[in-house]
């Protein structure tokens, strides 16, 4: 399983935004939409072994988490508007301290970074930062990882402190500072290559589901 967390500091926390203006009215929701797509899509289907967790910290009701489960997802297309509309639908639910299902494979709840870190206790945590250790040097040893990425403003000092305290290792995907969705594509590629080298088939679950 690969879990990917993206922190959206400005991302709106109610469904009151226009799908025609995801960058503006929705608080750079376009970034999170592209992350969903990069995290979940293969050429011919979904990465069934991936979960995406969007941590939404914008107004008017900061501290919501939307979870996309690759294994159960339906109705998602790769374009930004498609994930944007599923996010909007989830935000129209009354979020509580319990998971509420919005559409197949999409769940919403209240929560913050601490909640996610306690949820992932025992997993191997990676915090993506430009000056981290090169993921390529360690990709072969990575099993069952959780990756944390920032949005256009990165990760705050306080968040970084929490991540490091929880034992997250800082890794880099390359020499330039990139958009979060591009980083996700690069992380997947390193793990795909490592799995292929070990003779594991990342598509296995997918085929199993569809047969």
Ligand X SMILES: C[S@@+](CC[C@H](N)C(=O)[O-])C[C@H]1O[C@@H](n2cnc3c(N)ncnc32)[C@H](O)[C@@H]1O
Name the binding residues for S-adenosyl-L-methionine.
128, 150, 183
Q: Give the span between the Cα atoms of 53 and 69, in whole angstroms.
A: 9
Closer to a copy of itself by CB, 84 or 111: give it: 84
The tokens for 53 are: 């967790």
Q: Say whether residue 72 binds ligand X (CB under 6 A).
A: no
Q: Out of a copy of itself, ligand X, none, which partner does residue 34 contact, by CB within 5 to 8 A per kind?
A: a copy of itself
Q: Which residue has the tokens 């020499």?
A: 175
Q: How far is CA 107 from CA 51, 140, 177, in A?
A: 11, 31, 31
Q: Give the span between the Cα atoms of 202 and 206, in whole angstroms.
A: 8
Residue span binding ligand X (CB under 6 A) among the ranges 62-70, 84-92, 158-166, 179-187: 179-187
Q: Say whether residue 91 binds ligand X (CB under 6 A).
A: no
Q: Give the span between the Cα atoms of 145 and 129, in whole angstroms.
A: 16
Q: Give the span between the Cα atoms of 73 and 65, in whole angstroms.
A: 16
Of residues 180-199, those binding ligand X (CB under 6 A): 180, 183
Closer to a copy of itself by CB, 35 or 166: give it: 35
Q: Say whether residue 95 binds ligand X (CB under 6 A).
A: no
Binding residues (CB under 6 A) for ligand X: these are 43, 128-130, 132, 149-150, 152-155, 172-174, 176-180, 183
């Amino acid at each position: 399983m690969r879990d990917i967390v993206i922190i959206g500091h400005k991302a709106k926390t109610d469904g009151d935004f226009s799908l025609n203006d995801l960058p503006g009215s929705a608080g750079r929701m376009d970034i999170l939409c592209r992350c969903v797509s990069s995290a979940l899509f293969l050429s011919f289907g979904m990465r069934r072994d991936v979960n995406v967790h969007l941590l939404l910290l914008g107004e008017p009701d900061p501290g919501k988490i939307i979870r996309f489960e690759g294994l159960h997802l339906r109705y998602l297309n790769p374009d930004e508007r498609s994930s944007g509309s599923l996010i909007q639908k989830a935000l129209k639910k009354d979020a509580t301290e319990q998971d509420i299902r919005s559409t197949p494979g999409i769940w919403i709840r209240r929560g913050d970074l601490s909640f996610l870190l306690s949820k992932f206790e025992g997993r191997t945590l990676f915090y993506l930062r430009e000056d981290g250790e090169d993921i390529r040097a360690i990709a072969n040893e990575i099993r069952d990882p959780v990756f944390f990425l920032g949005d256009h403003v990165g990760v705050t000092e306080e968040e970084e402190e929490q991540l490091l305290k929880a034992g997250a290792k800082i890794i880099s995907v390359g020499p330039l500072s990139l958009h979060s969705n591009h980083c996700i594509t690069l992380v997947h590629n390193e793990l795909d290559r490592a799995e292929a080298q070990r003779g594991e088939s990342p598509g296995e679950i997918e085929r199993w589901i569809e047969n």
